A and B are shown apart, each in its own frame.
Chain A
């Protein structure tokens, strides 16, 4: 075999081995790299500076920052972090670079506003972001929805929420549910049906998996709250009628002439505590539920999403 052929074979083999080697190692390194370094390496936090540094490639940089924002939140949520300090700046920089990157606003409304561990706990910042988005995208009704959403769910300012939904319903092409929501805000802000409407709207109108999952969890929680409220009312009626606590919820079912025992969205029956409180069997499965939780219960985040 000529020297050249020998060299060719050895070099080709070397190429294949090192190619596979480098890919395998790269994958492994990804796993062991300390990710907080990645997260906190937002060296430039001023959107103006980033804009200048992008040298005109604003769109590309916006995409890069958006990708990072999603990864950042997803990763931290997965490892059950309790702080998301960089989410606000990331979203602000993204939208500063590209004010028309609509998914960023929706993401901000959903995950910037709620309190930790489900969000960054910065509802005012989220509101600012929404107003910025509306300013640059006045023909987009969805942003009004997101804004109203934040007022309703986190700030509990039902009057403002109503105003915003109303304004949004006037945008040409707006979804009819905005009008409905506006009306509900006025009188039935705290009704379960209103909340259900809000979260169903969120679920239907988003493409983003994490947002849909989030909405689904809220709908489940609303169901639990509603069930617990109804059950608790029934228990109260029973106590009034029989002057004693029911021994179990079956007694209540019989008294109310219901078809069967109410079950939670997972199909597990509710329970009655010894002191007459209605409880959900597995509170961990309903992270947003506010009723039916055992006393002294501290919620631990358990999303069904992947990291």
Chain B
């Protein structure tokens, strides 16, 4: 069963002061997210990720198109009881404490009074916020606020969770914790839809991703599928200052520093490079992947859309 079915949602804004001109924030989008998936919504800033999320949340009204969430119309208020939402850089009522905020949200989400207190304590521990009793949110750090945001998104045990840039504001340890949390959520049978521009997170977590740029969907699919076509780059380092001609011919990217030389070649060319070094009896120091394959795919897609846009512009 599909958790989310986006059927042609689009958004055009009228911009300008006197004569309003249309500005397309989102081209008609068609996307499906399956039950139990961790789905990544990728794209650079301003691509239309947040616009899409806001439309699904009913905060912004689409110019055209509809969507179904958990089998119901996305405007159905009952749907909201089963979804959780973490907005980008969330703001909360800073005069409340974390407990009060979660209590308020719990009330609004219909969490029964008798369960609320225990659920709140549980959530706070889960997102790693201990020792915040009586502390007003205005005193929280960015990272702490992000954790509160995640807590309020999963407080009422929703079946589907929307996260807009969940890692922002967190240190590496925090990001690791959130990654684990997302995996846990999947294990609990929830579907997670999150948007990000950090590809390594997407690569590590997502079953499927969609890439969006300039309001247009560039590609959708399982991570492996997408990256199969694109090869990553590898950095080869060896001792000595001589660069074999065959290596030079491969990529033209080489550099000599002190007693070592390095070059960057694509994955498929690694064997050729190593052979060249062996032939010349040069000692291999290291072979390191430089760019992840998803990133390459991403960049390629973006450049492609840029040129298409440039051609049509």
Tell me if A's interface is mostly helix, strand, loop or mixed.
helix
Q: Which residues of B contact A240 (CB under 8 A)?
A: none
Query: B16 interface residue, CB < 8 Å from A?
Result: no
Interface membership of A3, Cβ < 8 A? yes
| Distance between B24 CB and nearest chain A CB, rounded to angstroms | 24
User: How many residue pairs, one in A and one in B, have C-beta atoms under 8 Å apart?
Assistant: 6
Q: Does B260 contact A (CB under 8 A)?
A: no
A239 to B263, CA, bound (A): 148
Q: Which residues of A contact B73 (CB under 8 A)?
A: 2
B239 at the interface (CB under 8 A from A): no
Query: Cα distance A4–B73 when bound, in Å?
Result: 12
- Inter-chain CA distance A3–B78, complex, in Å, is 11
Q: How far is the CA of A3 from the CA of B75 in the complex (A)?
A: 8
Q: Considering the complex, give the chain A residue whose CB is closest to the CB of B77.
A: A3
> Can you list, as one digit per residue, whether each of A2-18 has a CB less than 8 Å from chain B (1) or not (0)?
11100000000000000
A window 1-55: CB within 8 A of B: 2-4
- Closest Cβ–Cβ distance, residue A10 to chain B (whole Å): 15
Q: Which residues of B in the span 70-89 have a Cβ within 8 Å of any Cβ on A?
A: 73, 75-77
Within 8 Å CB of A2, what residues of B?
73, 75
- How far in angstroms is the closest Cβ of chain A from B5? 18
Name the residue on B nearest A4 (C-beta).
B75
- How close is A279's CB to chain B, nearest CB, in angstroms? 80
Write the nearest CB–CB distance from B183 to chain A, whole angstroms.
35
> CA A2 – CA B77 in complex, angstroms?
10
Identify the closest chain B residue to A3 (Cβ).
Answer: B77
The chain A residue with its CB closest to the CB of B76 is A3
Return chain B residues, CB-CB under 8 Å to A4. 75
Nearest CB of chain B from residue A294's CB, rounded to whole Å: 79
Q: How far is the CB of A156 from chain B (nearest CB, A)?
A: 71
Q: How far is the CA of A3 from the CA of B73 in the complex (A)?
A: 11
Which residues of A lie under 8 Å from residue B75 when comparing CB positions? 2-4
B76 surroundings in chain A (CB, below 8 A): 3
Kindly state the separation between the CA atoms of A88 and B75 in the bound complex, as whole angstroms.
Answer: 66
Q: Please report the C-alpha to C-alpha distance between residue A221 and residue B94 in the assembled complex, in whole angstroms.
A: 80
A214 CB to nearest B CB, Å: 57
Per the 8 Å Cβ criterion, residues 39-96 of B in contact with A are 73, 75-77
Contacting A at CB under 8 A, from B176-211, are none
* B56 → chain A closest CB, angstroms: 15
A4 to B75 CA separation, bound complex (whole angstroms): 8
Inter-chain CA distance A3–B74, complex, in Å, is 11
Which chain A residue has the least Cβ–Cβ distance from B58? A4
Rank and list the top 6 A-B pairs by shortest CB-CB distance, nearest first: A3-B77, A2-B75, A4-B75, A3-B75, A3-B76, A2-B73
6 contacts across the A-B interface (CB closer than 8 A):
A2-B73, A2-B75, A3-B75, A3-B76, A3-B77, A4-B75
